Amino acid sequence: MTITIYHNPDCATSRNALAMIRQSGEEPQIIEYLKTPPTHEKLIALLAAMNMPPRALLRQKGTPYAELGLDNPDLSDAHILDAMLAHPILINRPIVETPKGVVLARPSEAVLDVLPNPNLGPFTKEDGEVINAGRASAG
């Protein structure tokens, strides 16, 4: 089974999602998307798989979002895609792709929706928050 994470190691949410994937028993393909951005075709495919318009994947904080005028609601999807490809920091992360689907793992526990084994048991995020990622049945 192939799991791919479009990862930024400087992002706690991305690190938490990666740790959850590993705790589930999988070792994903890690693509540091700032160093190796997705192609135009791959970005379109990821958006389609998430049923998400390009604007919904735009990251604002810590990016050239404002300087590029990306807050203009009249900008086309093509313009937004071009901006994300030219400035990969504009792509929100982490994106996780598995045979079960593709998610923007924000919050990081959203990755559980596409993992083949989401039964992690208790998982402690970097900030100390405990996620009960078990699927225990009610008794």
Q: Are strands 101-104 and 95-98 parallel, antiparallel or unpaired?
A: antiparallel
Tell me how far apart the alpha carbons of residues 98 and 111 are, in angstroms, rounded to a whole number.
10
Residue carrying the six token digits 């999988």: 26
Strand partners, 5: 30, 96
Q: Is 106 a catalytic residue?
A: no
Q: Which of 3, 5, 11, 90 is catalytic?
A: 11
Tell me how far apart the alpha carbons of residues 80 and 86 are, in angstroms, rounded to a whole number.
10
DSSP 60-75: -TTSSTTTTTTT-TT-
Tell me how far apart the alpha carbons of residues 119 and 49 are, in angstroms, rounded to a whole number.
24
Element (H, E) at 30: strand 29-32
Q: Which residues form the catalytic set?
A: 11
